[in-house]
């Protein structure tokens, strides 16, 4: 058991539309739920008390494009495939990864939670190698 704590956050920018920020916050909550479901990690309310800092950098989806917005009803919208870009920081180490969901696959948040757990489970010497965390796509 790891007993490490995770601080989850996303930052708003001046040009972030309220619906986009709402989707990021929803994704943040889904990621929190996935991390708690897998276990071994605690979610911290404070960045000072956390061993890991996990930031949702970007959340892209087919429903955000012009084609999706022009569709008169949800049934006519293209299949929704979201792309989640996450940054994980621990001590002086930091890495970003991308998770994409498709037909029949796990959600982007579930994939991200698995990647976060995998990074925590690696030996400290292995996690300092630059190729270790980037060679395994979500």
Instruction: List, for residues 72-115, the tens digit of each pLDDT value.
Output: 655 555 556 789 999 999 888 898 999 988 756 788 999 999 98
Q: Specify the pLDDT at position 8.
A: 93
CA 44 to chain centre: 16
In the chain, the domains with their CATH numbers are: 4-123 (3.30.160)
Out of 14-18, 40-44, 99-103, pick the least confident.
Answer: 14-18
Do the strands 41-43 and 4-10 form a parallel or antiparallel pair, or are they unpaired?
parallel
Q: Kindly write down the DSSP assignment for every residue of 35-63, as one continuous string.
A: HHHH-SEEEPSSSTT-SEEEEEEEEE-GG
Quick one: pLDDT band at residue 50, thresholds 50, 70, 90? very high
- Cβ neighbours of residue 19 closer than 8 Å, sequence gap 6 or more: none
- The mean pLDDT value for 34-56 works out to 90
Would you state the structure tokens that stand for residue 20, as one six-digit string? 């986009």
Q: Specify the pLDDT at position 81.
A: 78
pTM (2 d.p.):
0.73
Share of the chain above pLDDT 70, in %: 67
Quick one: pLDDT band at residue 61, thresholds 50, 70, 90? confident
């Amino acid at each position: 058991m790891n007993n490490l704590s995770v601080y989850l956050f996303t930052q708003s920018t001046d040009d972030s539309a309220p619906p986009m920020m709402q989707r990021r916050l929803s994704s943040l909550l889904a990621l929190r739920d996935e991390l708690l479901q897998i276990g071994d990690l605690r979610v911290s309310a404070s960045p000072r008390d956390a061993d890991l800092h996990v930031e949702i950098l970007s959340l892209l989806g087919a429903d955000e494009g012009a084609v999706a917005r022009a569709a008169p009803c949800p049934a006519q919208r293209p299949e929704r495939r979201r792309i989640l870009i996450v940054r994980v920081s621990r001590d002086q180490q930091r890495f970003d990864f991308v998770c994409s969901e498709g037909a029949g696959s796990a959600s982007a948040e579930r994939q991200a939670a698995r990647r976060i757990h995998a990074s925590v489970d690696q030996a400290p010497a292995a996690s300092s190698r630059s190729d270790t965390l980037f060679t395994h796509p979500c």
